[in-house]
Structure 1
Amino acid sequence: MTPGVTASTVYLCTVFIVLFNVYVDSQDTDAQLCKMCEGTVPQDSPVWDFCLTKGHIRGRCCFGNETSNVDAIIGLDLANCSISHVEHLYNSSTAFIIDLSNNPISNLSDFIFQGFSHLTHLLLPSKLECPGGNASWEKVEVKNNARICKGQKNICNQSNQTSWDCPENSFCSPYGPGFFECSCLHHFHGYKCMRQGEFPIVKVLGILTGSTVVVSSLLWFTQRRKAKNI
């Protein structure tokens, strides 16, 4: 095997290993989240009722039945799990319903739910406030020692949001309770959506491919020279 082929093989193997590790890490975090509490989703819980027609249960998670959602967490039940502190919820930003009630949680940051734009039903210990405040939800009620936040509002549609929240050539998109993000309009991209036209994906891929070829060639010539000297 020539040094050039060896360098290219090592490069491709490295890329494959990195992508494989990212996939494995994603699966591990899902498994970790779904096993944060012993057992499975209780049959008398709101997550169980939600999952009956829309998904299937694994541990404390409900995964979607649709082909496009087969690996997406659409429901999460961590109720009555003796959880006192929550820093993040891993890969559950696709969830429609999350139950954290009946836990000794004393404080919960709104940023935990940043990106949870699909969340429509959230159950918390009664002493906690709904993320984003009551104004971020259609209905808030306290029932059976749980604060129930229902129907996440689209903050972009609220009257107190003005057009200057997002730069020109962009639009507002909901990004979780009380959060929004700015997305570029069609045919605009780049910093503050100031560049017009389609994103030059072919050009970018060409540059990346060219760079890879140049680096591989340099490695091949370098290794070949060393081989000749030996």
Structure 2
Amino acid sequence: MAPAGLGQSVGWLSRAIPLLLALSAGRAPALPEVCKYCPGPAHDTSEVDHYCKQRQELKLRARCCLTKQGTIVGLDLQNCSLKELDTFLAEAHSAIVLDLQANPFLNISTSVFRNFTELQTLVLPLKIDCPGGFYAWDNITCGKDSCICHKQRNQCNNTVEPALCPENAYCVPDGPGLFQCLCTSGFHGYKCLREGSFPLLMFSGILGTITFCISILLWGTQLRKIKAS
């Protein structure tokens, strides 16, 4: 026969565990920092607001349009006094709609949008060109104060320059006007010219040995300085 205290503990756990599971399931995912980068909610006239409210499975939180899992599909950073885009924007690489109008940008580098492969609508101030230019988008329309870059093109389907990647490599889109070349299976190294798998164990061993030797050298140098002082 089990002790009374043990039975009470088991009974308490049997009631507490379902409650904890229910609370964790109902808890909303943490809001990404980029959604709070600019104060206030998304503008009700923005492309982000329009896109999000048309789809019941999406929800507006701060400056972001999010899925139930917390993935960013829209980001409204219009009128945020941004002069440049920093690495903070990378957190929104899954965005389909991105509104950056009414900001005093001096220029925007195409590399800022690296990995933004899902981006289909990008709103920019009038003086800023769409990243990648006309060849990166199906359509670019400009109004009085802003330009909208519509439907990102797959650069790997470029018919003007079909040989984008070297032999033994294949092309993968990497954002507006951007792509990267990945080695096919069985090849690695510069321009994927080396055949066979990458010698990971050998590389790790050499790197570890070098790191260890440098650490010993620095430790000995600091020890001599301490004794000298």
Cross-structure match for 2:105: 105
Match of 1:59 among 59, 62, 65: 62
Cross-structure match for 2:6: none
Kindly indicate whether structure 1 or structure 2 has the higher relative contact order, using CA contacts under 8 Å at least 6 residues apart. 1
Alpha-carbon distance in 1 for matches of 2:113, 2:59: 23
TM-aligned CA deviation for residue 198 of structure 1: 7.0
Cross-structure match for 2:45: 44
Output aligned runs, 1:69-218, within 5 Å. Answer: 70-88=69-87, 89-163=89-163, 165-189=164-188, 191-194=190-193
TM-aligned CA deviation for residue 191 of structure 1: 4.9
Whether the 8 Å contact between 1:155 and 1:161 is mirrored in structure 2 is: no
Alpha-carbon distance in 1 for matches of 2:191, 2:63: 40
Alpha-carbon distance in 2 for matches of 1:109, 1:79: 18
Name the aligned partner's letter for residue 45 of structure 1. S
Alpha-carbon distance in 1 for matches of 2:156, 2:90: 26
TM-aligned CA deviation for residue 196 of structure 1: 5.4
| Same amino acid, percent of matched pairs | 39
**TM-score when scaled to structure 1?**
0.66
**TM-score when scaled to structure 2?**
0.66
Name the aligned partner's letter for residue 135 of structure 1. Y
Look at both structures and tell me which one has the larger radius of gyration over its CA atoms.
Answer: 2
TM-aligned CA deviation for residue 192 of structure 1: 3.6
Cross-structure match for 1:17: none
TM-aligned CA deviation for residue 200 of structure 1: 8.6
Question: Which stretches in structure 1 are left out of the alignment for 5+ residues?
Answer: 1-26, 212-230
1:111 match: secondary structure: helix
1:157-200 superposed Cα distances (whole Å, 9 cap, x missing partner): 1222232x312221111111111101233454555444556779
TM-aligned CA deviation for residue 62 of structure 1: 1.6
Q: CA RMSD in A?
A: 2.9
Kindly tell me the number of residue pairs found equivalent between the two proteins: 176
Cα distance change, pair 191–59 in 1 and its aligned pair in 2 (3 A): same
Cα distance change, pair 161–48 in 1 and its aligned pair in 2 (3 A): same
Q: 42-51 vs 143-152, which deviates more?
A: 42-51
Alpha-carbon distance in 2 for matches of 1:196, 1:55: 46
Question: Which stretches in structure 2 are left out of the alignment for 5+ residues?
Answer: 1-29, 209-229
TM-aligned CA deviation for residue 55 of structure 1: 2.1
Whether the 8 Å contact between 1:97 and 1:119 is mirrored in structure 2 is: yes
Output aligned runs, 1:16-35, within 5 Å. Answer: 30-31=32-33, 33-35=34-36
Name the aligned partner's letter for residue 76 of structure 1. L
